[in-house]
Chain A
């Protein structure tokens, strides 16, 4: 099926099988390998992207469902290699170790901060509940997000 998907401002036209998951479309067809796969049951959130302004797990969407949609991935956050305040906060607060969950975490935090610029600790944790991390224990990630809150 023909689809036209806009990712980080660029529109891609491709022919895809209906069964192709959106995460595989991003990674394999568009070479946007920043979003990751960490599970096969929709639990880990490493594939999280923003889809028409809404945070989703791209492993539970088909590429064909993204026809006409506008998607934001981690690759679209920094401009010309300039890290955003959120990304810088992750660096300052050591909110990443292996970095595998990090793109998903950044998208979830980005979605949160768009809706709520002064989240409490509890609100931050709830916003990140769909993103599994095995390295950090989440404490530093919460601190990083809190530090960019107003």
Chain B
């Protein structure tokens, strides 16, 4: 419950934040804190310094471009996304964010934090992969763009290297999306989830079954179950689900997400 000693810095710009992160090995970015503070309470990880990104306007904002691309600042909270008129251009985003945890968490938790923590049970990593999002990472050398399917590297690990920051996420135009989950209680932690997007063919990303979202494609929603089986996933067993049950759920939820996407 009680954190180890830590230093705290509140930079006034993204540049300053990057400098702090790059020059302090044990420095970690603090976004909404809805994951990191709990990790620190458990002393599972204890950064030497927290670099508070709150107040960096460059990391906020939701813009809708003429071609329908949505650009969401990494420090956008779930509540901001749910309430955003621009974000309704891609309705699945607000719909999914509205089911994450509870209003207190949604008021502080951020999109960037969700994808950068890459907890296998998170909602947004599979969703970002399914909709083909592109992540912008800023570092000392400038900015680079990484497609979502290359962004997630392992449990709690992403393409954001030490000294770098995710600054924004670009989501292409589209409306034919779906998301299905079995959760621990209503709107609880995901036991298994799947996100789907239809653009001609079907693009499905499975969550909770591997260290990173598992991306599959199929021609139709009906073919998704076969695609899941062909992927030969071996999900972990834990107190909430055996590997066998999770595998089964993945098939069912992927199909449901795809059907939802196809019929939008």
Contact of A130 among B4, B5, B101 (CB under 8 A): B101
User: A60, B187: Cβ atoms under 8 Å?
Assistant: no
Query: Cβ of A57 and Cβ of B8 under 8 Å apart?
Result: no
Closest-CB distance, B247 to chain A (whole angstroms): 28
Query: A54 at the A/B interface (Cβ < 8 Å)?
Result: yes
Partner of B107, one of A17, A41, A54, A126: A54
Given contacts A1-B8, A17-B5, A60-B33, contact A41 B103 (CB under 8 A): no
Q: Number of A interface residues, CB 8 Å? A: 28
Given contacts A60-B33, A60-B37, A129-B187, contact A45 B104 (CB under 8 A): yes
Give Cα distance in the complex from A108 to B104, angstroms: 8
CB distance from B37 to the nearest CB of A (A): 5
**B42 CB–A CB distance under 8 Å:** yes
**Of the residues B7, B38, B187, contact of A41 by C-beta under 8 Å:** B38
Contact in complex: A60, B108 (CB < 8 Å) = yes
Q: How far is the CB of A105 from chain B (nearest CB, A)?
A: 12
Q: Does B140 contact A (CB under 8 A)?
A: no
Give A38 Cβ to nearest chain B Cβ, in Å. Answer: 11
Query: Could you tell me how many residues of chain B have their Cβ less than 8 Å away from some Cβ of chain A?
Result: 28
Which chain B residues numbered 66 to 101 have a C-beta less than 8 Å away from chain A? 79, 101
Q: Are A19 and B5 in contact (CB under 8 A)?
A: yes
Which one, B6, B42, B104, contacts A56 given CB within 8 A?
A: B104
A19 contacts across to B, CB distance below 8 A: 2-6, 40
Minimum CB distance partner of B3 in chain A: A19
Interchain CB contact under 8 A, A55 and B104? yes
Verify if B52 is at the interface (C-beta below 8 Å from A).
Answer: yes
CA A69 – CA B40 in complex, angstroms?
Answer: 23
Find the B residue at minimum CB distance from A125: B186
Please determine whether B37 and A42 come into contact, CB atoms closer than 8 angstroms: yes
Tell whether, in the assembled complex, residue A40 and residue B1 are in contact, meaning their CB atoms are under 8 Å apart. Answer: yes
Beta-carbon contact of B33 and A130 below 8 Å: no
Q: Is B211 an interface residue (CB 8 A)?
A: no
Which residues in A have their C-beta under 8 angstroms from that of B182? none
Q: For chain B residues 1-24, which have a beta carbon within 8 Å of chain A?
A: 1-8
Q: Per-residue 0/1 for A116-150: is the Cβ within 8 Å of any B Cβ (1 yes, 0 no)?
A: 00000000001101110000000000000000000
Q: Assuming A1-B8, A19-B4, A55-B107, is B34 touching A60 (CB within 8 A)?
A: yes
Bound state CA distance, A128 and B24, in angstroms? Answer: 40
The answer to the question of A99 belonging to the interface, with a C-beta cut-off of 8 Å to chain B, is: no
In chain A, positions 6-43 with a C-beta closer than 8 Å to chain B are 17-19, 21, 37, 40-42
25 A-B residue pairings within 8 Å (CB atoms): A1-B8, A18-B5, A21-B2, A21-B3, A21-B37, A37-B1, A40-B38, A41-B38, A42-B34, A42-B38, A42-B105, A59-B41, A60-B33, A60-B38, A60-B105, A60-B108, A61-B37, A62-B37, A62-B50, A64-B8, A65-B54, A129-B101, A129-B102, A129-B186, A130-B101
* Chain A residues at the B interface, C-beta cutoff of 8 Å: 1, 17-19, 21, 37, 40-42, 45, 48, 54-57, 59-62, 64-65, 108, 111, 126-127, 129-131
